[in-house]
Structure 1
Amino acid sequence: MATIPDANGRLLAEEAPGDNSPALSVSELSGALKRSVEDAFGHVRVRGEISGFKRVGSGHCYLTLKDDRACLDAVVWKGTPLAFRPEDGAEVIATGRLTTFPGRSRYQIVIERMELAGQGALMALLDQRRRALAAEGLFDQARKRALPFLPRKIGVVTSPTGAVIRDILHRLEDRCPSHVIVWPVAVQGEGAAAQVAAAVRGFAALPEPPDLIIVARGGGSIEDLWAFNEEIVVRAVADSPIPTISAVGHETDVTLCDFAADVRAPTPTAAAEMAVPVRADLLDSVQQLWLRTGRCARRYREHGAERLAVVARRLPVPERLLAPQRQRLDDTGERLPRALSGRVSEARRELADAAGALRPALLEARLVRAREKLSGLRLRPALVAARIETDRRRLAQTWRLIEQLNPERVLSRGYAWVEDRKGGVVTTGTAARAAGAVTLVFAGQDRVDVQVEGAAPKPRAPRKPPEQPTLL
């Protein structure tokens, strides 16, 4: 293809004769590349380390697979089943198809299945997750709670069709029959972790929640038990307000759920043994306590009787204690009639003596003497009037003396008295100069503050009201 300049000096693209390479649009070229890549790499398996994993609001997941020399963008469409939750740093083998994204001129793998790259990678992911959750304090011993001694209701999270639930029920029946609620869940495979977490939270949300929760599963490989290593299960168990026993796998199997639970049981059967005591042992203990209580009561009663007997021997005989009082009572009883007769005779003599003094003539003579004395004590009006006039003259003389001594009469003639700042009366020039500032008080309590020459001014103290003259 050759170019020639146009009339405006611009170069125009024109097809030359014999040219067999027509111009393609960007979309046509991108589509051709997409078809070529998808045809050549329709099914691939790639091993690499996950980096930059994120799940967007639409449900799709985006990540990057990388090794020490290259990286490959990857996408997991919503609804694609995954055996585990991808995390950064995990080494995986991804199976899918290679395609391109024309919008950004890049190629990527659409993952249809993802597996961990061997046992070592799985253990490395497990250790990484364990350390991350432990750093948050989910495995701290301070979070652990004691199991109830005799739970009335036990919740079990496990598969309803496995041997685990039968072993738990049989063991509980043998030891101590209890009310058991089974929350059926899938214990492995896709969605198992979400079901287990929902069951643990569901028990806590019941109107009458159980007193204890057992999360149980039989033994298996690490892949079979992986649901109990998922973060969603670990957080649900750690946040449960109900004490929880983790009984996942055999004695040698360890999951992150075991670290988050309040108690780890080596097997589901052992979890049932931890959950309840042996009923026969409880009955035997109660029987032994009842027998011991009876023996203690008998010993206490016998010892009390012995102490009472010892004390009783030390106490005096009641007859000896009451003998003096009884003798005194008999003596008083014999003397009482004689004393009463003597007192009656004496009262009769006193009455006879008094009767002689109560003659009418004597009473009339005494009444006459009282009347004469009363007439001599009567007051005459002339004497009362003279006494009132004498007191009135004394009062007038006293009032004239008060008027003469009243300071206001002196002040009304042009005089004044001098007070210092504290309200005290100043009587000398020395005292006035020492005070520095004084107050002149005129008639009608009119006051004038003045400064004494030759004396340094002093701060004025609060003034007290002058003392009023006292009337005599």
Structure 2
Amino acid sequence: MSLLFDSDAPSNLTEFSVSELSGAIKRTVEQAFDQVRVRGEISGYRGPHSSGHAYFTLKDDKARIDAVVWKGTMSRLRFKPEEGMDVIAVGRITTFPGSSKYQIVIETLEPAGAGALMALLEERRRKLAAEGLFDAERKRPLPFLPRVIGVVTSPTGAVIRDIFHRIADRYPLHVLVWPVRVQGEGSGEEVARAIAGFNALEPDGAMPRPDVLIVARGGGSLEDLWGFNDEAVVRAAAASQIPLISAVGHETDWTLIDHAADRRAPTPTGAAEMAVPVKAELDSQIAGLGARLQAAVRRQMDNRRQAARALARALPSLDQLLALPRRRFDEASAGLGRALQMNTAAKRRSFERVGAHLRPELVTTRLRDRRRHLDERFALAERLTERMTERAGRRLSAADVALRGFPARALGQIRHGKDRVATLSAKGERAVIADLKRFRERIEAQNRMLQSLSYVNVLARGYVLVRDEAGVPLKTVAETGPGRAVTLQFSDGRIAAVTGEDVSVLPPVEPAAAARPARSRKRRSEDEETPQGSLF
């Protein structure tokens, strides 16, 4: 039996257009899968599109489904999708009629269990640690007493109030707050920008640059604190030039910023305690140190005073110190007069010895010899000059006769030779004149010395030179006798005289024999009768 089908036979199937069929499928799928929870691995994630939406796929070992996260939902996600992350997505299934595809529109997204999240955190921690961001050598010490503290936290939470309260109790100072979101999508980027913004402030600008930073947040789950595990936050904390304290969560909560910060505080209140000391304790410590310093100064002064007294007792008295110098001074003063007399006598003897060699005849003879020598030099110089002049003249005459027929050039050389001879002759004459002048100045200097040493100048001051009959100067009274003829030479001439009685053998005159005027008259009469002494 065969069955025959007629293509023109009427059918009871409903006819749909492509659009109607696609719309019916879309409504059916959306009604059947209005809210679903899907677990899978993110694949093909390239970050948000320029429109703000994110497109990727969820897959397992057997199938895959397209996924989309709209811009509004993306800003509310607590985690940013990452390639290869195992997640649980909650959303609704819909179709895309333009390409006959279906996809899930994700409304919430979270890691698939704490184990996967911890694995991601550990992998990121190892990566950043390998770059040296957690090394202890990078960490800087906190300032002992900062002037300005910068706080990066939420402005509406209890954390900022706890920090303000603790700083005000311990050491009130200037606090700058950079408000940020501490949870949700984009919180990590805001915290990183806040840290970089505080570091970009000028130290002496209108807004003071903080001396220490506090990044704080209250406690929460791993998902709540996930923004502080962001790579941008860790890098900003490691690159901060301002010392940074991390105070995220409770004491048992650890995030990656805790490893990169210079110090980790268990709580935000603990961070405030680390940042500033207690003013009352500092005042007490300063007071204690001041008291210790004053006591130490007093003890030191007492010790020095006792040492000075001991040294004063060990020192000898003033009389003992001055006894030996006083005795030396007395001995020196006692011998001073005698030493002056002896020195005067020694100088007189030395002068007499020198004066014996300065006889006028010797100086006169030497002066005469010098003058004769000078005259001879003058005569010799004149003869030499005349001889050289005659010789040069003869040579010039002979050369003039011999070279009279030479060309003009030779005659010019001859004239040059004549000029040179004349120049040399003039130089010779000037040299002779200079020598004669030098000799004359030397003789005049010796003459002045002779005049200064001559006894004639002494006679001009009122002295008299006494000579015997032979013209020999008499130096002592013992060389004369009564009635002996002598010659008295004054500065302006000589006179003959006869010596009288030696006054040295006359009896001395008593001081009380006569009044002072009488003694004066007697001394004057004796002076008139006794001839003056001689210097030689």
TM interval, shorter chain, is 0.5 to 0.7
Is the aligned partner of 1:49 residue 2:41?
A: yes
SS of the aligned residue for 2:42 comes to strand
Change (3 A) 1:213 1:359: closer
Q: Alpha carbon RMSD of aligned pairs, Å?
A: 3.8
Return the alpha-carbon distance in structure 1 between the equivalents of residues 115 and 143 of structure 2.
Answer: 39
SS at match of 1:223: coil
SS in structure 2 of the partner of residue 170 of structure 1 = helix
Whether the 8 Å contact between 1:98 and 1:110 is mirrored in structure 2 is yes
Deviations along 1:58-116, one digit per CA (max 9) or x if unpaired, are 2443322122322223233444322211122232224243334856x755434343233
| 1:40 and 2:33 matched | no
Q: Tell me the residue number matched to 1:267.
A: 267
Cα distance between partner residues in 2 of 1:146 and 1:259: 15
Deviation, structure 1 residue 322: 3.7
- Distance in 1 separating the partners of 2:355 and 2:119: 132
Secondary structure of the corresponding residue to residue 95 of structure 1 = strand
What's the counterpart of residue 144 of structure 1? 139
362 and 257 in structure 1: CA distance in 2 versus 1, 3 angstrom threshold? closer
Aligned residues of 1:217 and 1:247 also touching (Cα < 8 A): yes
Residue 180 of structure 1 deviates from its aligned partner by 0.8
1:89 aligns with 2:85: yes
Query: Which consecutive residues of structure 1, in runs of 5 or more, have no partner in the other structure?
Result: 1-15, 22-27, 386-472
CA distance in 2, matches of 1:33, 1:83: 38
Deviations 1:317-337 (A, max 9, x none): 454344333222222222223
2:166 aligns to what?
Answer: 171
How far 1:178 moved relative to its partner?
Answer: 1.7
Number of the residue aligned with 2:211: 211
Q: Distance in 1 between matches of 2:235 and 2:160?
A: 24
CA drift of 1:146 comes to 1.8
> What residue in structure 2 maps to residue 153 of structure 1?
148
* AA partner of residue 178 (structure 1): L
Distance 1:366 1:240 in 2: 105
Does structure 1 conserve the Cα–Cα contact (< 8 Å) formed by 2:58 and 2:67?
yes
Letter in 1 for 2:8: G
In the alignment, is residue 99 of structure 1 matched against residue 87 of structure 2?
Answer: no
Aligned to 1:191: 186
SS in 1 for 2:242: coil
Q: What is the alpha-carbon distance in structure 2 between the residues aligned to residue 338 and residue 274 of structure 1?
A: 92
User: Letter of the aligned partner of 1:153 in structure 2?
Assistant: V
8 Å contact from structure 2 (residues 171, 278) kept in 1: yes
Which one has a bigger Cα radius of gyration? Answer: 2
- Alignment correspondent of 2:244: 244
Question: What is the alpha-carbon distance in structure 2 between the residues aligned to residue 322 and residue 20 of structure 1?
Answer: 157
Q: Distance in 2 between matches of 1:369 and 1:259?
A: 115
1: CA distance, partners of 2:129 / 2:21: 48
Report deviation, 1:32.
6.9
Does structure 2 conserve the Cα–Cα contact (< 8 Å) formed by 1:38 and 1:97?
no
Kindly provide the amino acid, as one letter, of the partner of residue 95 in structure 1.
G
Q: Which structure 2 residues correspond to residues 14-413 of structure 1 after superposition, within 5 A?
A: 18=8, 35=23, 37-42=25-30, 43-45=34-36, 46-55=38-47, 58=50, 59-81=52-74, 82-87=77-82, 88-100=84-96, 107-208=102-203, 209-344=209-344, 363-372=363-372, 379=380
8 A Cα contact 2:245 2:265, kept in partner = yes
Partner SS for 2:303: helix
Matched letter for residue 200 of structure 1 = I
Query: How far is 1:170 from its partner?
Result: 1.2
Distance 1:76 1:306 in 2: 90
SS in 2 for 1:54: coil
Q: Distance in 1 between matches of 2:227 and 2:10?
A: 61
- The 1-side partners of 2:150 and 2:325 are apart by 79
What secondary structure, in the 3-state scheme, does the structure 2 residue paired with 1:93 have?
Answer: strand
- Structure 2 vs 1, CA of residues 205 and 364 (structure 1 numbering), >3 Å: closer, same or farther? closer
Contact preservation (8 Å) 2:87, 2:109:
no
Aligned length: 364
**Structure 1 contact 37–100 (Cα < 8 Å) conserved:** no
CA contact (8 A) 1:217 1:248 kept: yes
Secondary structure of the residue that 1:202 maps to in structure 2?
helix
Distance 1:346 1:145 in 2: 90
Distance 1:340 1:127, change over 3 A: closer
Secondary structure in 2 matching 1:80:
helix
CA distance in 2, matches of 1:137, 1:356: 108
Distance 2:332 2:146 in 1: 78
**How many percent of aligned residue pairs carry the same amino acid?**
53
| Corresponding residue SS for 2:221 | coil
Distance change in 2, residues 1:33/1:262 (3 Å): farther
CA contact (8 A) 2:152 2:177 kept: yes
Quote the offset at 1:155 in angstroms. 0.9
Q: Which runs of no fewer than 5 residues in structure 2 stay unpaired? A: 1-5, 12-16, 204-208, 388-536
Change (3 A) 1:361 1:135: closer
* Alpha-carbon displacement from aligned partner over 1:26-66 (angstroms, at most 9, x marks no partner): xx86x677545533333453221223321266244332212
Deviations 1:315-373 (A, max 9, x none): 55454344333222222222223333454466567767877887766654554454456
How far residue 291 of structure 1 moved from its aligned partner, in angstroms, is 1.7
In proportion to residue count, which structure has more strand? 1
Contact 1:50 1:92 in 2 (8 A): no
